[in-house]
Amino acid sequence: MLYLIGLGLGSEKDITVRGLEAIKTCARVYLEAYTSILMNADKESLEQFYGCEVTLADRELVESNADVILEGADTHNIAFLVVGDPYGATTHTDLHIRARELNIPVQVIHNASIMNAVGACGLQLYNYGQTVSLVFFTDNWRPDSFYDKIIQNRKLGLHTLVLLDIKVKEQSIENLARGRKIYEPPRYMDIATAASQILEVIENRGQGQLLSPLTPGIAISRLGSDSQTIYADSLKNLSEYDSGEPLHSLVIPGRMHELELDFLVQFCSDKEQFKSLASADDSVLQQRQS
Amino acid sequence: MLYLIGLGLGSEKDITVRGLEAIKTCARVYLEAYTSILMNADKESLEQFYGCEVTLADRELVESNADVILEGADTHNIAFLVVGDPYGATTHTDLHIRARELNIPVQVIHNASIMNAVGACGLQLYNYGQTVSLVFFTDNWRPDSFYDKIIQNRKLGLHTLVLLDIKVKEQSIENLARGRKIYEPPRYMDIATAASQILEVIENRGQGQLLSPLTPGIAISRLGSDSQTIYADSLKNLSEYDSGEPLHSLVIPGRMHELELDFLVQFCSDKEQFKSLASADDSVLQQRQS
């Protein structure tokens, strides 16, 4: 049996009781270590908590050597641990498909992920449109298709969850070209970088008011950990906001219901100022909808 | 302290270790018992698992008597348990706001909910548009605004999660009018009812091919429980599908990537037939996008 087990968001104790029981039956335990990180745990603390060895699975192992992970899973149990929920990344779907091809039964143990825990900022999940991803801009690669998706959502009055880039165990272009397995230090996009990149695209596109420096944004930092913070302000102010340690996500609200706004304003430094920002934004969105 | 604790989807063991530890510090434990149900657990099995008494909280208690729940939460811990994740329903946001007004600290312990666990059908979460809700049609109330939202999603090539109505502890109109606290037996919408209602609206609207009886749908039943099933077919065939015990959700795919379709076809009775259905649907969506 292959167990795909979600670890949730913060610490080793965010695993479910069922997930923990499953791990204890497993001959080998892998931790997927390149699409996300557990903020308050590492390999050692997990090993101590589970009482067994944990093998870090990098992109190469999962995407090119899945059969190594699955070896023997027809006769004993193997656990593959994923931060958040197991279906957060296509990679894990791949592993699931490969297991089925080998006639290995698969059981999934779900957990919270950013995709549902983002509800913590008070905007209702069913008022979100499609989720977008924002990657680190480089000198010659500044993809901006996320902009069109946010605009599409906002035209419908919907909120947008913006997932921020994580670079773990990435090679520089030079090292990749030369086949040298030397990896760059991990990088996690912070709120200021995200907001700045969005402002750059707004400036380039210059397509009116549907997104502007005064559009509200919600900085969600270390969601589900003890040091979780949520902070709402204009994109312009967020581009200078110190969001602290990773991980971060950003929400661009669409039209907010009164209850949503009531909940959100607890996360503002100046409630009245944010309310007038939100009200101005709502007028823009209302005009576009009608 | 008020703990808002997500229970996940299936059994008592789907709670997180941290959630379970929090409950054990609490003076009183409430279970929200009207927006969803745990499929493989009840009040008694939870009490046995937690080793403490659990009080069922119905809509009246939560929405009209929140202060009863919060009483004493300034000096000791109170747990409010929610199936799925605590931010799945506006009601729980209300309770959170009320606690803050009373200066009671609130801690949220997240868990899986349908909003992220729906990834189990193989369609990537970031390719979903807005979620819609489908309520039981009555003789004189057949709201169809969900139709426009599905169309909006499909025009963008996005998948739609359709949440199906749950009626727990509801009064008949007559009993409500007469103030009699007599409640109807619980009802959970099944896949056949959902698909039939959608087909009725398709028939009424008659607006072309963006939704038709041959549009694919994915029936997701008892997600996260031991008896979970996923079944993909046309909406027409789903309107005659026996989906078994609750709970159910329905997904209407948008444009599917190859990997998404590869994963999904494992859930079809006739893979080739479904692939041609999906291919025809993709042509329709592609035309509308271009």
In the predicted structure, residue A206 carries a pLDDT above the cut 90: no
Alpha-carbon torsion B146, B149, B154, B155, what sign? positive
d(CA A280, CA A214): 9
Mean pLDDT of B144-172: 93
| C-alpha torsion angle, residues A22, A26, A28, A33 (rounded to 10) | 0
Q: Is B5 on the interface with A (CB under 8 A)?
A: no
Q: How confident is the model at residue B172 (pLDDT cuts 50, 70, 90)?
A: confident
Select from B97, B110, B266 the Cβ nearest to the Cβ of A100. B266
Mean pLDDT of B14-24: 98
**Helix (H, G, I), strand (E, B), or coil: what is residue A123?**
coil
The structure's pTM equals 0.95
pLDDT in tens, A13-27: 999 999 999 999 999
Q: In this structure, what DSSP letter does residue A10 have?
A: S
- Which of B89, B11, B85 lies closest to B45 in space, CA to CA? B11
Residue numbers in B near A17 (CB within 8 A): 12-17, 20
Mean pLDDT of B239-260: 97
Judge contact between A192 and A238, C-beta under 8 A.
Answer: yes
The answer as to CATH 2.40.37.10 being correct for domain B2-112 is no
Q: Do A110 and B94 touch (CB under 8 A)?
A: no
Residue of B nearest to A11 (CA): B18
Q: Which of residues 176-205 of B touch A (CB under 8 A)?
A: none
Residue of A nearest to B126 (CA): A131
Q: Which of residues 250-289 of A touch B (CB under 8 A)?
A: 259, 262-263, 266
Query: What is B115-287's CATH number, 3.30.950.10, 2.60.40.10, 3.40.50.180, 3.30.70.360?
Result: 3.30.950.10
Sequence-separated (6 or more) residues with CB below 8 Å from residue B198: B134, B147, B150, B162, B211, B235
How is chain A split into domains, by residue range?
2-112, 115-287
Q: Do B14 and A14 touch (CB under 8 A)?
A: no
Mean pLDDT of A282-287: 94
